[in-house]
Amino acid sequence: MLRIVDHLVGRGPLRICAHVPEADGPGDLTGLRVLLTGDVLARVVELRGRAVLTGRTGPRVPGAGAIGIHPADAQGTPEEIADALGGPPALQLSGRAYEGGGGAFVQIAQARASGSADLEGDALAVRLLLLDRPYHEPVAVTAEDVEGAERLLGQWRRAVAGWAEEPSKPLVAELERTARAGLENSLDTAAVLRLLGGLAADADVPAGAKFETFARLDRVLGLELTREIGKAPAAGAWA
């Protein structure tokens, strides 16, 4: 298991390099998943107050920007990246076995979309689906999965927009601590999504607290859960 906290000790920026494999056919999402894991990891570390520099080797990945992955600070060979980032990466991420030297190595399992899966809708639905599986376990994305993820994103965004209209309250501290611990120890984004699902359905938590908690954790998830704020909601959208 990846333990991010082990790499938070020290001064200066944390350097991360994502090694994108060649796509194994049009439905191969492994390269996208490698970049996504690096993106979320960087967000977690930055939330702790440490700067992150990222590098990327391998081919261009279509759709990376559409699912909210931040561009790398450097691209090229491992040597060129180390030179551009001012030092060798402390973390190497790859969808294949990586034999390069330096730092800790994290292998990302394969991800693939079925031939019928429509990836042209809300691109962040694909991000949600990949975050809903442990990065070290293979995942297959189906058309039904994408449709379900789009519905859930719509429900959460409308709910967040509704909660934003209610009196402000402090975020749910215990839930946020649990989520942060899972992210920092094993990048457990799937557990964070489950926590948010439970929070959304909890009638005992004030709407303002739900809003603050969703908004805070979305800084890591990157699902744009606040994008519907200010738009006219449908009746009963967040009931």
Q: What is the pLDDT of residues 88-134, one digit of tens each?
A: 999 999 998 777 767 788 999 999 998 766 677 789 999 999 999 99
Task: Looking at 2-72, list the stretches that DSSP marks H as alpha helix, in order from N- to C-terminal side.
Answer: 30-47
Average pLDDT value for residue range 200-226: 97
pLDDT value of residue 234: 46
The reported pLDDT for the residue numbered 233 is: 56
Q: What is the 3-state secondary structure (H, E, C) of 78-136?
A: HHHHHHHHCCCCCEEEECCCCCCCCCEEEECCCEEECCCCCCCCCHHHHHHHHHCCCCC
Residue 187: name the closest of 55, 5, 15, 10 by CA. 5
What is the number of residues in the chain? 239
- Burial grade of 215 (CB within 10 A; 0-12, 13-18, 19 or more): middle
Q: Quickly tell me which residue has 């699912």 as its tokens.
A: 67
Which two structure tokens, joined as six digits, stand for 213? 């908690």
CA distances (Å), origin 147, targets 101, 153, 227: 41, 10, 19
Averaged pLDDT score across all residues of the chain:
90
pLDDT of residue 122: 87
Residues 6+ apart with CB under 8 A from 158: 228, 233, 234, 237, 238
pLDDT at residue 39 tops 90: yes
The two structure tokens encoding residue 75: 């691209």
Whole-model pTM: value is 0.92
* Mean pLDDT in residue range 48-54: 92
* Of 226, 222, 198, nearest in space to 211 by CA: 226
Nearest Cα to 95, choosing from 153, 40, 34?
34
Q: Which among 161, 169, 177 has a CA at the least distance from the CA of 217?
A: 177
**Joined tokens for residue 83:** 């030179």
Question: Which residues are registered as beta bridge partners of 54?
Answer: 16
Let me know the angle formed at the C-alpha of 16 by 174 and 22, rounded to the nearest 5 degrees: 115
Residues 6+ apart with CB under 8 A from 192: 179, 182, 183, 217, 220, 221
What's the pLDDT at 175? 98
Q: How many CB atoms lie within 10 A of CB 102?
A: 15
